[in-house]
Amino acid sequence: MYPYEFRDKPAAVLSFAGSVFRAVALALLAVSLLAALPLTATRVARRISEVVSLAGEDARSAHVRVLGAPEAAALDAIRRTIPADGEYLLLDGGEEWQGSTYWVRFELAPRRARYVGRLSEMAGPARRPWSLPAGPRWVVIAFPHRSALLDRDDFLRRMEPGHGPG
């Protein structure tokens, strides 16, 4: 068909334009895939080497690798102290909201947590005189990279004006 013949056939013009558009789109897709292939292959190879190096790792080793040995040991000690059907008071020991209490609560499940608040807010003069809610004997303070377990009475003694928090 010659250009002057399209004047009378609009469907033919749309068909021709559509096929050109599809060809350009297919070419752009092929170029983008070819450009992304080396980076993707490098990332996949790196991930596979990481997985191979961790093959055969048991759950305890993975836990220590992710949390760090001191935090894993602290959580194990807390699990041994508080019975599985027990409960504890949970305080956020971080300077700002970092979600530490969520992770500690997850790690200590099925023990029941009763969130008390942030340690920094409890130490202020506006909170005196204050007391902990009745019930649990244990207080767990969730810091960003460690957890602390205190007996309720020991925690209250530490919070007295002369001692300061933590």
Is residue 164 in some structural domain?
A: no
Mean pLDDT along residues 17-23: 84
- Please give the model's pTM, rounded to 2 decimal places: 0.64
CA-closest candidate to residue 123, choices 85, 76, 160: 160
Arithmetic mean of pLDDT over the chain: 84
Residues 78 and 33 in one domain: no
Q: What is the pLDDT of residue 141?
A: 93
Tens of pLDDT, residue by residue over 90-112, are 999 887 777 888 989 999 999 99
Q: What is the pLDDT of residue 161?
A: 63
**Confidence check: pLDDT of 165 > 70:** no
Residues 46 and 77 in one domain: no
pLDDT band at 162 (very low <50, low <70, confident <90, very high): low
Percent of the chain with pLDDT over 70: 83
Tens of pLDDT, residue by residue over 115-147, are 988 887 776 555 555 667 788 999 999 988 888
CB crowding 93-122: b at 16 or more within 10 Å, else e: bbeeeeebbebbbebbeebebeebebbeeb
Coil, helix or strand at residue 86:
coil
Number of domains within the chain: 2
Structure tokens at 22: 């599809």
Residue-number span of the structural domain to which 110 is assigned: 60-158
Residues 151 and 98 in one domain: yes
**Confidence check: pLDDT of 9 > 90:** no
Residues 40 and 75 in one domain: no
Tens of pLDDT, residue by residue over 41-66, are 999 999 999 889 888 889 889 889 88
Structure tokens at 40: 């993707």
